Chain A
Amino acid sequence: MGLRTPLYDLHLALGAKMVDFGGWDMPLHYGSQVEEHHQVRRDCGVFDVSHMTVVDVQGADAQSYLQKLLANDVARLSEPGKALYSGMLNEQGGVIDDLIVYLCDWGYRVVVNASTRDKDIAWMQARAEGFAVELRERADLAMLAIQGPRARAHVAELVTAARAALIHDLKPFQGLPEGDWFIARTGYTGEDGLEIMLPAGQAAELLNELVGAGIAPIGLGARDTLRLEAGMNLYGQDMDENVSPLAANMAWTIAWEPSERDFVGRAALQAQRADEAQPKLVGLVLEERGVLRAHQVVRVEGVGDGEITSGSFSPTLGKSIALARVPAATGERAEVEIRGKWYPVRVVRPNFVRHGKPLI
């Protein structure tokens, strides 16, 4: 038996097909993964993401600690409520995890992946030596993501006036507390929406209210196709400890300035940055029938080989798409081997759908 979120029983009651995800028993879908996908793109849906790990960082050195720990620079967060996405790197410049950090008036809230919890916390604690910081894992919190063009409007109708006002006022990538909830306008779908962290004991009631109001529960299956269409990386698949953020479409998350900020992995990244052979993460589109899958081989004529890191059928586009790590010199065309046959694919920027609209 795997780990369970506070919503486990409710998932079963809602007819979820459960699967193991990073040691957690999580809903894969509640009937049709493709329908759930469309639901989020067209209206909205609710995901249980309580398996994700929340770590609060407090103390006099919280900022300088995170400036050392993360490739992105928390000094860029100018006021409480602002958030940024960052890689947490090892000394070799490999990605230990990707995360979101929110600036709060008492410190920072860091949200890391579920499957990487143990190593992340061990790493964060080891790096904390010499800094006046306190790390506190918030296993007492549950998290629901409500995503889709109508998500904020739907949720605002169901919560207190103060929370509705905050939901209305939040800017993209902003998160603020309201009572014992923390409400953020963030997500992993390429749609507008919210992520709500709240005491675990309140999670079932909120999910019940949302579902009762007609907001469909969405499983991990649709979560994966939504994030793939949005060109968002999945840790462990599109990058890991042996992959540089430069080879994972995460160059934008590295704050090179100020140059004296010596974050973990900086020296290695600088060497990689100068290396023109560094591969890149691109998007692939299969125009023929078939489905691109992780680990299929990509061949670029006259250039070299690469590999698909994530691939699936895109319900929004009605064709298969993928993320692939390919040689830097890759142009607009490549081929992918599917069951012994080579299929031509189009190479695109790894961002296929945003706010319901195809980008390719």
Chain B
Amino acid sequence: MSNIPADLRYAASHEWARLEADGSVTVGISDHAQEALGDVVFVELPDVGKQLAAGQEAGVVESVKAASDIYAPVSGEVIAVNEALADAPELVNEDPYGNWFFKLKPSNPDELTALLDAAGYMAVADADA
């Protein structure tokens, strides 16, 4: 059973999003996603400054098994990326909620409410399992 924190929002494509106090949105991949991927060996992150639309490809996570695209859960500008993942991609497996991928300055914060809550995402993850 994968861990799905109740305080986050989720995309059906398995990213989590957290609205921070400063109005930015932090993005990572879910525990269910890291488990399905297996050992993560490489993470390709978007460039800081890039404008992303909700649902647009933002990067790639590669496990030993396969490569998977990561999508922006909401629209906005990339304001930071987690450089630690370049040297230690396995952190994604160890703590998928502590090791974020990138932060966005959302262009439309209302998009967050359109994302799944924990219960909604649990249904997606279960159907996927």
Residues of A at under 8 Å CB distance from B? 28-29, 32-34, 221, 225, 289-291, 293, 312-313, 315, 320, 339
A194 to B39, CA, bound (A): 27
A291 to B38, CA, bound (A): 14
| Complexed CA–CA distance, A301 and B82 (Å) | 36
A312 near B64: Cβ-Cβ < 8 Å: yes
B41 proximity list for chain A (CB < 8 A): 34, 291, 313, 320
Cβ contacts under 8 Å, A221 to chain B: 38, 64-65
Contact of B115 with A by CB under 8 A: no
Instruction: Give the complex CA separation of A339 and B41 in angstroms.
Output: 17
Q: Which of B28-87 contact A (CB under 8 A)?
A: 38-39, 41-42, 44, 60, 62, 64-65, 67, 86
Q: Which range holds the interface residue count of chain B? A: 10 to 19
A residues less than 8 Å from B38 (CB atoms): 28-29, 32-33, 221
Interface residues of B in 81-101 (CB under 8 A from A): 86, 90, 93
The answer to whether B64 and A290 touch across the interface, beta carbons within 8 angstroms, is no
Looking across the interface, which residue of chain B has its beta carbon closest to that of A35? Answer: B39
CB distance from B23 to the nearest CB of A (A): 32
Q: Is the CB of A313 within 8 A of B67?
A: no
Query: Which of B's residues lie within 8 Å of A, judged by CB?
Result: 38-39, 41-42, 44, 60, 62, 64-65, 67, 86, 90, 93
- Contact indicator A290/B65 (Cβ below 8 Å): no
B67 touches A225 (CB 8 A): no
Tell me if B39 and A32 are in contact (CB < 8 A).
Answer: yes
Among B41, B42, B44, B93, find the residue whose CB has the most chain A CB atoms closer than 10 A: B41
Which of these, B39, B60, B62, B86, contacts A34 with CB under 8 Å? B39
Chain B residues within an 8 Å CB radius of A291: 41-42, 62, 67
Q: Are B86 and A289 in contact (CB under 8 A)?
A: yes
Q: Which residue of B lies closest to A32 (CB)?
A: B39
Q: Is the CB of A290 within 8 A of B42?
A: yes
- Contacting pair B64 A339 (CB below 8 A): no
Closest to A313 in B: B41
* A339 and B60 contacting across the interface, CB-CB below 8 Å: yes
Cβ contact within 8 Å between B42 and A293: no
Instruction: Tell me how far the C-beta of A345 lies from the nearest C-beta in chain B, rounded to whole angstroms.
Output: 15
Chain B residues, Cβ within 8 Å of A29? 38
Instruction: Say yes or no: A225 contacts B86, CB within 8 Å.
Output: no
Chain B residues closer than 8 Å to A312, beta-carbon distance = 64
Task: Write the chain B residue with the least CB distance to A36.
Answer: B39
Enumerate 9 A-B pairs (CB-CB under 8 Å) in ascending A order: A29-B38, A33-B38, A33-B64, A33-B65, A34-B90, A221-B38, A290-B62, A339-B60, A339-B67
Shortest 4 CB-CB distances between A and B: which pairs?
A: A313-B41, A34-B39, A291-B62, A313-B64
- CB atoms of B64 and A293 under 8 A apart: no
Across the interface, do B42 and A313 meet the contact criterion of CB distance under 8 Å?
yes
Q: Are A34 and B42 in contact (CB under 8 A)?
A: no
Residues of A contacting B42 with CB < 8 Å?
289-291, 313, 320
Other than the given A29-B38, A289-B86, A291-B62, 5 more pairs (CB < 8 A) read: A32-B38, A34-B90, A221-B38, A293-B67, A320-B41
How distant is the Cα of A242 from the Cα of B9 in the complex, in angstroms?
50
Q: Inside 8 A of A33's CB, which chain B residues have their CB?
A: 38-39, 64-65
- Most A CB atoms within 10 A — which of B38, B67, B86, B90? B38
Expressed in whole angstroms, the Cα–Cα distance for A34 and B44 within the complex equals: 20
Given contacts A33-B38, A34-B39, contact A313 B60 (CB under 8 A): no
Chain B residue nearest to A289 (CB atoms) is B42
A225: B residues at CB distance < 8 A: 64
Chain B residues in 8 Å Cβ range of A34: 39, 41, 64, 90
* A16, B67: Cα distance in complex, Å: 22
Q: Name which residue of chain A comes closest to B89, CB basis.
A: A289
Closest Cβ of chain A to B92, distance in Å, is 13
Please indicate which of the listed interface residues A33, A34, A221, A225 has the most CB atoms of chain B within 10 Å of its own CB.
A34
Taking the closest CB of chain B, its distance from the CB of A34, in whole angstroms, is 4
Q: How many angstroms from the CA of A339 to the CA of B67 in the assembled complex?
A: 10
